[in-house]
Amino acid sequence: MTDWNLQPLIDGITGLEIRSCLIIQHGKPILEHYREPEIAKELGKINSCTKSVLAALVSIAIDKQIVPPPDTPISLFFPLLLKEDQDQRKREIKISHLLTMTAGFNWTEFGGQNSFPTMTRTADWINFVLTQPLSHTPGTVMNYNSGCSQLLSAILRECSGQDVAAFAEDQLFQPLGIESYRWDSDPQGIHTGGFGLYMKPEDMLKFGLLYLQEGRWKDQQLIHSDTVQKSTHPYVSATLPQKGFYGWHWWVSSFHAGTEQQPKEIPYYFALGFMGQHIIVVPSYELVAVITADKYKKGSPANVFGRFIVPALLGQ
């Protein structure tokens, strides 16, 4: 491995006022950039990157047989779906459909009557999600939906007998050495599955490293390696809020490498949160990158990875 030419990357993220950018490759720190030094120790809202953390917790619970297999119908946990006045297709919704956001609910994530903002203004988020009409047969179409994440959080709480944050501390945070975080809850006290987790950038990096290492951390296998592979598999195509593919609450994509004569696609997967929160894992380059942002500028922050990190990586 040759040295990185970091100056164009540093200039780019400085110009965009990126909150933080951390890169590690082959186990060695490449970049640790903070807009202000105090950001290193501040808890930042990771928004929908929360979904990928939740997916890790559900994966651990499935591995330990705390949560039943992914093909289990969710009506086991939500008897409301079995009522005669509900669309009978709702009985077909499985845990795997929640993980891949293919449950089929009529949902417009970012606004409108059937949306994440509307859900958060109700007294019972779970009931709100379950009573939404279906626009697709379960398992057929990916439709980005934080309500699916909230159902997963409720299932994990019921199966484990712990609130989700306590389960996270025992099974994930303590082993990774994550000592400080904050996690919002819904009116019933169920931790928010799709958003609402606050973490330090360095702890986001640890989480990405856990996945790069296929679920292994030091001498512990926290997530089975085959479960990591399943959760980062490109199951369904997606267009919003990101073009690409979707796994178990992870985005999956690729970038171009090689030459015009011999083109090559490098696969990677990533956690993505509103306003430009990213945890990016590139297995073939043994690389993890974390980007956090809190200021919106044109061209920022969604494409920092493609505009600055990929060219620096390929230019080694």
Boundaries of every domain in the chain: 7-314
For residues 220-241, average pLDDT: 95
pLDDT at 6: 94
Give the per-residue pLDDT at 316. Answer: 65
pLDDT band at 91 (very low <50, low <70, confident <90, very high): very high
- Give the CATH class of 7-314: alpha beta
Which of 1-15, 20-34, 90-104 shows the lowest mean pLDDT across its residues?
A: 1-15
Q: What is the Cα gyration radius of the chain? A: 19
When comparing pLDDT for 300 and 99, which is higher? 99
The CA distance from 268 to 297, in Å, is 25
pLDDT for residue 302: 57
Give this prediction's pTM.
0.96
Decide if pLDDT at 315 tops 90: no
Q: 121-129 long-range CB contacts below 8 Å, 24 or more apart?
A: 123/187, 124/187, 124/188, 125/150, 125/186, 125/187, 125/188, 125/190, 126/78, 126/150, 126/151, 126/154, 126/186, 126/188, 126/190, 127/80, 129/105
Determine the Cα–Cα distance for residues 88 and 184; give it in Å rounded to an integer. 33
Q: Buried b / exposed e across 101-128, counting CB within 10 Å, b at 16+?
A: bbbbbebbbeeeebbbebbbeeeebbeb
In the structure encoding, which two tokens stand for residue 29, read together? 């720190």
DSSP state of 226: H
Which residues, at least 6 apart from 166, have a Cβ–Cβ distance to it below 8 Å? none
Check residue 80 and give its pLDDT.
94
DSSP class of residue 134?
B
Q: Is the dihedral of CA 276, 279, 45, 188 positive or negative?
A: positive
pLDDT, one tens digit per residue, over 170-210 is: 999 999 999 999 999 999 999 999 999 999 999 999 999 99
Q: Could you tell me the pLDDT band of residue 166, with boundaries at 50, 70 and 90?
A: very high
